Chains A and B, each alone.
Chain A
Amino acid sequence: MTYEAWIIVTGSLVGITCGITGCFLILRKMAMLADAISHTVLLGIVAAYLVSSSMEGIYMFAGAIIVGLLTAFFVQLLHSSGVQSDAAIGVVFTSLFALGVVLISLYAGRIHLDVDHALMGEIAFVPWNTWEIGGVDLGPIAVWMLGIVLFINLTLIVIFYKELKITSFDPEMATAIGIPVMFIHYVLMGMLSITTVASFDSVGAILVVAMLIAPGASAYLLTDRLSIMLLLSALLGVLAAGLGYYAASILNVSISGSMATMAGILFVLCFFFSPKHGIFIKWLVRKKFVQSSSN
């Protein structure tokens, strides 16, 4: 495959994986927890490197999952001790992220990771960092990582579909019928952590938030059904990635930044022109209503 095709494949995988995970976060009003975990995963990656002194995927995943779950746990802990939840999120993720950045700067010479990479990712380098076994080129490592994470996430969603759905829409009922709400919460946090770390290389810590939230939020405006929302969100993720890449290559700017911007533009379009919940359709309905009532 060509260089360009690999980048589009990577971006699309990021779009799909983040898109479907993001839907659940939006429905559970936990979007800011996604923001928090995507930041703190940086600390996990740095810590994993310092402990294992290798950049192998498996260590990074382990570090990211540990720190991601710790973030969720600390937020929960502070919240239950009486701190309001938004402030709890704010305190936890900023301090862990700051620690991560300071560690990167301290060991800058030893770590093959710099602050810019952490922020924006380096999707342009993805096609060159390939996985070879016995001299056979199996394609970029990032694509493999994203593919595996997507597979894990899809499996978990299929297994826990009913539980995820009920806990997202009606947590009280979920508790009442005996679904382990806390367990599902942490399963989702684990999914979020691995999604973030797999996307981290390609789009960076903050832009992954855009890929997590924007497609899901747009899909939320287009449909009332969870299954369709998941499909639409994945589709919008791919669209944002593809369009973002072309815009970036025309203007010669950051690919990940332009993907995030494109996801935002798609959201604005949905916000105004969604056939179900868009501003435009609401305006039309109101106008018709006024006309018919004045007649």
Chain B
Amino acid sequence: MDFLLQMLQDPNVQWVLIGTSLLGIASGVLGSFALLRKQSLLGDAMAHAALPGICIAFLIYGAKSMSWFMIGAALSGLIGTYCIQAIIKHSRIKEDTAIGLVLSVFFGLGITLLTYIQQLGKGNQAGLDSFIFGQAASIVGSDVNIITTVSIILIATTILLFKELKLITFDAQFAQGIGLPVKWLNGLLMTLIVCAVVIGLQAVGVVLMAAMLITPAISARYWTERLDYMVIISGVIGGVSGVIGTLLSTLTRGMPTGPLIILAATMMFLFSLLFGVKRGVLFQAYKLLMVRKQVVLENILTSLYNETEKSLASSNCIGVVNIKESENSLFTPFIYKRLMKEKLISIDENYQIYLTEKGLFIAHEIVLKERLLDMYLMNESQFPELNWRESGYNVLNEPKELIQQLTHLLKEFGREPIALSLYQLKNSKERNYQMISKREAGHS
């Protein structure tokens, strides 16, 4: 711990940390757009395609220079992207093959050039190797300045053009319709992504840079459904993984930084996968459990209601279900307990279940909904304007006339739920009877 604190006070380490966290933020932010536009793997191709650009920049300039490397990397990254689009457009080769082809061939060219530079024996080519897997320790002050400036420009551009970028991501045709320069904006976004890839190359390396675009963005997707939050969360995850990866790589000698940053991001991805509040595995399982419980509960109430309806019509007494014959699932005992607690049912000593008055009201509503729905499904052709199959079946919220029409159909088929009215009738009869007998008792 002391060592860590001591290390954090080292200005060099501080510089590097600022650089990696900023580039993490920038790539996380732009990665969100790449992900939603289904261009995640294009980032992979751009990163690999940058390698020959770096080598050619070195061959032309003759020495290690961050800014020339970046220009070379950006140019060859863009050329790679252009090649992919040209191959897709002018031949019958599909997108994934085109991406894989450009990625591997450009990388092969890069490796060839790298070995060519090595055998030229200029001695200072050692820095080039670090572009493959990334070496944060090789970042010096002037590099950090470039990384910081570019990251800030990238983040600021994204914030300023957020609305436009959002539109071309989700509905390009609409954007075209309201007069946005869609082609220009697409090109700009592509350039921004290439820049994010390029500034990451020195720290993360060409092989794994794509993960900096993909992993934070996809982790953020588990927490939110909104683009603005997604961009922020993804930026934070990218930044944090940058910091953790860099610290780990500085702590252990000879460890490439890129894989460590990616592993840090992967840990956060796994955490999001499990615990994300929007799409996380645990949350989804909880939701499914709740739905299943609700279904069992409604089934119990429905079957009780049906029994009650039958016995009230024939013998004027409340229907019962034997607990041992009732629907059995894992939750059934808990649901009986809950229903008892809410005083919707009562259970007597023979394990017979009754609906209470309150229970009858609630069950009535459920059964009414169900039967209205049955009517709708039986006569779907009469209601062409409805789309209940797709829209979550909230029958009772529909307009009054419609409900009346369906209720009419129910009556026609004799499927109207009558247990509640029978029960009320029975009660009022009993009350009348009691009143009469009271009155008679008073008279006598």
User: Which A residues are within 8 Å of any B CB, using their own CB?
Assistant: 26, 29-32, 34-35, 39, 81-84, 86-87, 89-91, 94-95, 97-99, 101-102, 105-106, 108, 115, 119-120, 206-207, 209-210, 212-214, 216-217, 220-221, 248, 251-254, 256-261, 263-264, 267, 271, 277, 279, 282
Contacts and interface: CB of A to CB of B under 8 A. Distances in A.
Contacts of B111: 119-120, 207, 254, 256-257, 260
Interface string B205-242: 00110110011011001000000000000000000000
B91 to A, nearest CB: 6
Nearest to A32: B96
Interface stretch (B34-42, B181-189, B400-408, B414-422): B34-42
Nearest first, the 6 A-B pairs at minimum CB distance are: A260-B108, A264-B105, A257-B111, A94-B211, A210-B104, A257-B112
Interface of B: 35, 38, 40-41, 44, 48, 87, 90-94, 96-97, 99-101, 103-116, 119, 132-133, 207-208, 210-211, 214-215, 217-218, 221, 254-256, 258-260, 262-263, 266, 269, 279, 281
A271 B111 CA distance: 24
Contacts of B133: 101, 115
A258 B92 contact: no
A102 B218 contact: no
B32 to A, nearest CB: 11
- Most chain B CB neighbours (cut-off 10 Å) among A31, A81, A83, A248: A31
Contacts of A214: 101, 104-105
Given A32-B99, A214-B104, A257 B211 contact: no
Contacts of A267: 101, 105
Contacts of B105: 210, 214, 260-261, 263-264, 267
8 contacts: A32-B96, A86-B96, A87-B217, A98-B258, A206-B108, A213-B104, A221-B91, A279-B90
A264 B101 contact: yes
Given A87-B214, A95-B215, A277 B91 contact: yes
Given A213-B101, A271-B91, A89 B41 contact: yes
Contacts of A277: 91-92
B112 A261 contact: yes
Contacts of B112: 248, 251, 253-254, 257-258, 260-261
Given A91-B215, A213-B104, A221 B93 contact: yes
B97 A217 contact: yes
B278 to A, nearest CB: 11
B40 A90 contact: yes
Contacts of B92: 220-221, 277
B104 A97 contact: no
Contacts of A258: 108, 112
Given A86-B40, A98-B258, A260-B104, A91 B214 contact: yes
Contacts of B38: 84, 86
B115 A94 contact: no
Given A30-B96, A32-B96, A90 B44 contact: yes
Contacts of B116: 251-253
Contacts of A105: 254-256, 259
Contact of A29 (B96, B211, B269): B96
A115 B258 CA distance: 13
Given A81-B281, A207-B104, 14 more contacts: A83-B221, A84-B40, A87-B35, A87-B40, A87-B217, A91-B269, A94-B262, A94-B266, A101-B259, A120-B111, A256-B108, A264-B101, A267-B105, A279-B90
Contacts of A95: 211, 215, 262-263, 266, 269
Nearest to A210: B104
A209 B259 CA distance: 20
A90 B211 contact: yes
B99 A260 contact: no
Nearest to B111: A257
Contacts of B103: 35, 209
Contacts of B41: 32, 86, 89-90
B279 A35 contact: no
B108 A259 contact: yes
- Most chain A CB neighbours (cut-off 10 Å) among B92, B103, B104, B269: B104
A221 B266 CA distance: 38
Contacts of B100: 31-32, 34-35, 209, 212-213
A172 B258 CA distance: 41
A29 B94 contact: yes
A87 B97 CA distance: 16
- Most chain A CB neighbours (cut-off 10 Å) among B35, B100, B211, B259: B100
